[in-house]
Amino acid sequence: MSQAAKQVKKIPALPKSATMPLFSDNAVTVLERRYLKKDDTGAVVEDPKDMLWRVAWTIAEGEKEFDSGADTKKLAIEFYEMMAKLEFLPNSPTLMNAGRELGQLSACFVLPIEDSMESIFEAVKQTALIHKSGGGTGFSFSRIRPCSDLVHSTSGISSGPLSFMSVFDCATETIKQGGTRRGANMAILRVDHPDIMDFIKIKADLTKLQNFNLSVALTDEFMAALKTDDDYDLINPRNGEVVKRQNARKVFKQVVKQAWLSGEPGVIFIDRLNADNPTPKVGAIESTNPCGEQPLLPHESCNLGSVNLAQMVSDGKIDYDKLAKTVSRAVHFLDNVVDINNYPLPIIAEQTKANRKIGLGVMGFADLLLLLETPYSSQKARDLATKIMAFVDKTAYETSIELAEKRGAFPNFPESTYGTKNPTVPLRNATRTTIAPTGTISILAGCSSGVEPIFALAFVRRVMDDDELFEVNPIFAEIARKNNFFSKSVIKKIAHNGSCHNLDEIPENFRIFFESAHDIAPIDHIEIQSAFQKHTNNAVSKTINFAHDATVEQVEKAYLMAYEKGCKGLTIYRDGCRENQVLNIGKTDTKPAVGDAAKPTKRDRPQSLVGRTYQMTTGCGPLYVTINDDDRGLSFELFNTIGKAGGCAASQSEAIGRLVSLAWRSGQQPEPIIKQLIGISCHKPAGFGENRVTSCADAIAQAIREHTEKNNGKRNQELHEETNMAFGACPECGGVVEHEGGCMVCHTCGYSECA
């Protein structure tokens, strides 16, 4: 009987005494959209408590792998209660698939790619199966010979690793992951690969590799050469020969520049990952999962889960007894998942069960700091991070020993040279702790994501007719109401300024700990990542936020600091450098100019008009926008033609042109039209920085803005600042998306670019 068949059994009724789940209305909406069972018509046929009971019962049944007569009901209730009270949640595939036909419960996979066509396309096939089952995949392309290298079997030349990355990207685009979202990939290339400079620069065009996060694997040798401004070897992986020497600083500056421009590539310190590899005799670590926090051997998978630290606070203090019980149960839960999981490939089942890696992390850290009235950027916060993660790691380690005593050590334990703090003590799990981004499960838990700060205490969501809806952090709202400084005007100021630090309406003793992401200096972000990494077996997923006006030199300093502080990798994000940012913070309430208040009258078109044509680069091809002015120099009409796209794109662009022309002929000014169209996103953005075009509608708006500025003879800086804050919306619900853990995540509906 397959593992999936074992999972799909009749589940007894949930005991009436069980706690009802504490899910918010928003969390229930996300559950209904993504997690709960649906019938053939798409109607939801499961409620949240039944979902949690389905998961708890199925995972508890894993006890029977070791004791066929085990009474699993008590354990199932324990698992249910910690999920219903939002103290712990497993990764999304477990919530979605436990006890159901698919039965695939892991989020993270790494696949090997050797230097042969057979290996490459076998990996493509395996990727498709993993994405179909709900997982995300990581790859190292470092074994593939470089571009233009000799191929003996055909007497031809190699197209190099970058061309094959595109094959994986196209395959991923066609597969809906678990029926909920596209699959996600991590592509890693070693810094000593001859094609490294092309890899670093590939996302200068953000239309490429949209289903990949990219990371450069920096070696200790490279970092040493960087420190002394020396050259290092570029090595052909086909034969191990040195191709040439490259200046380390030149390569590093290109990494930094490209990350400043687009947020990618990130970096991983590959030798540091392997220094903590628990089974080096089994194999070397070459890659991680899509968000970078889970290093894995080829064909390994890992199931993750997170403890909600916001639920571990009682009377203004951390309840370490409660934390210990939750961590211990969570480790037990995740260990059971290893056995009952329905793996997408037999070799993945074999490799995963040989090392039994699990990844228990935390979420709600920023909420915990707010509850403890502690600034995220303070030394106290760093000390708390170190203390909490040391406690979690120690408890997880002790629980893994207890499980090993009852069930046996992980099979590769004799091959381990690290793996335990005391190599003579058997462990059930080769690794126990990982800090993941927790994008969607933190929505369900109603807490902040992973160890990230609060992105904004309040933010604006724009809806139709330019209305503004304000979303407010619930802990801030509760504290503000309790202390009499909650008001609509305060919320509006915070939402538009992006911070409360300069608001006199809020007492200074509260302002100091109400920090959001952009109140925090990049070095303080790195300090928190470093503090958590000290006691995390695997790695820490963390985005280092930079302001839009941050310099390349500041980004460079962050990468060097991360290495010095013992981090295993780094992902940076400079505000506004990519297309999907829709948080409207830091804007002003300027109103468009208005003309005669009388009823507008449509003007007739003269026989001839003079204007300009603008070529805009879009994801659908070149868009030619022609804007004609009347004899007073006022915009009168707009025509547009898409160079290569037909059908829907062309017809919608024509429709926009007609409506804009009608508005102008009726007396409307260009500015409100620009504001309505700018930043509308589609799935084919193009360019980056100020040249970023997120859709054909956005391209038309940018052409109008440029034309208006030419007519006025000056740049409208206020209009640029206001419209540049809009970078599109969640493609599924139109809600706010934010960049965390190398991924765009919507905290309204749970959409994520990554697995």
State how far the Cα of 716 lies from the Cα of 724, in Å rounded to an integer: 12
Nearest Cα residue to 290 out of 145, 116, 122, 92: 92
Of the listed 91, 185, 289, 580, which one is catalytic?
289
Nearest Cα residue to 541 out of 363, 374, 390: 363
Classify the C-alpha dihedral 122-123-124-128 as positive or negative: positive
State how far the Cα of 651 lies from the Cα of 656, in Å rounded to an integer: 9
The length of the chain in residues reads 755
Nearest Cα residue to 479 out of 585, 373, 366: 373
3-class SS letters over 661-676: HHHHHCCCCHHHHHHH
Cβ–Cβ under 8 Å, residues 586 and 547: no
Nearest Cα residue to 248 out of 14, 499, 563, 488: 563
State how far the Cα of 86 lies from the Cα of 97, in Å rounded to an integer: 19
The CA angle 29-33-37, to the nearest 5 degrees, is 110
State how far the Cα of 379 lies from the Cα of 619, in Å rounded to an integer: 46
Both structure tokens of 164:
């094959």
Both structure tokens of 677:
């169209």
Cβ–Cβ under 8 Å, residues 184 and 155: no
Clarify whether 730 is annotated catalytic.
no
Cβ–Cβ under 8 Å, residues 138 and 112: no
Q: How many CB atoms lie within 10 A of CB 35?
A: 23
Clarify whether 293 is annotated catalytic.
yes
Of the listed 291, 500, 577, 746, which one is catalytic?
291
Cβ–Cβ under 8 Å, residues 697 and 677: yes
State how far the Cα of 75 lies from the Cα of 333, in Å rounded to an integer: 9
Classify the C-alpha dihedral 318-321-324-326 as positive or negative: negative
Q: Do β-strands 621-629 and 635-642 pair in parallel, antiparallel, or remain unpaired? A: antiparallel
210's torsion region: left (phi>0), alpha (psi -120 to 50) or beta? alpha
Residue 537, Cβ density class (10 Å: 0-12 exposed, 13-18 middle, ≥19 buried): buried
Return the amino acid letter for 732.
E
Return the amino acid letter for 72.
T
Nearest Cα residue to 535 out of 658, 350, 665, 383: 383
Q: Do β-strands 358-363 and 301-308 pair in parallel, antiparallel, or remain unpaired? A: parallel
Q: Element (H or E) spanning 471, and its range? A: strand 468-472
State how far the Cα of 534 lies from the Cα of 650, in Å rounded to an integer: 54
Clarify whether 584 is annotated catalytic.
no
Cβ–Cβ under 8 Å, residues 395 and 328: yes
* End-to-end CA separation in angstroms for the chain: 28
- 541 phi/psi in degrees, rounded to 5: -85, 120
Both structure tokens of 435:
């800090």
For 510-519, letters b (16+ CB in 10 Å) and e give bbebbbbbbb
Q: What is the DSSP letter of 575?
A: T
State how far the Cα of 75 lies from the Cα of 57, in Å rounded to an integer: 8
Nearest Cα residue to 523 out of 486, 570, 476: 570
Q: Element (H or E) spanning 371, and its range? A: helix 365-371
Of the listed 63, 87, 264, 293, which one is catalytic?
293
Greatest CA separation for the chain: 92
Return the amino acid letter for 226.
L
Active site residues: 289, 291, 293
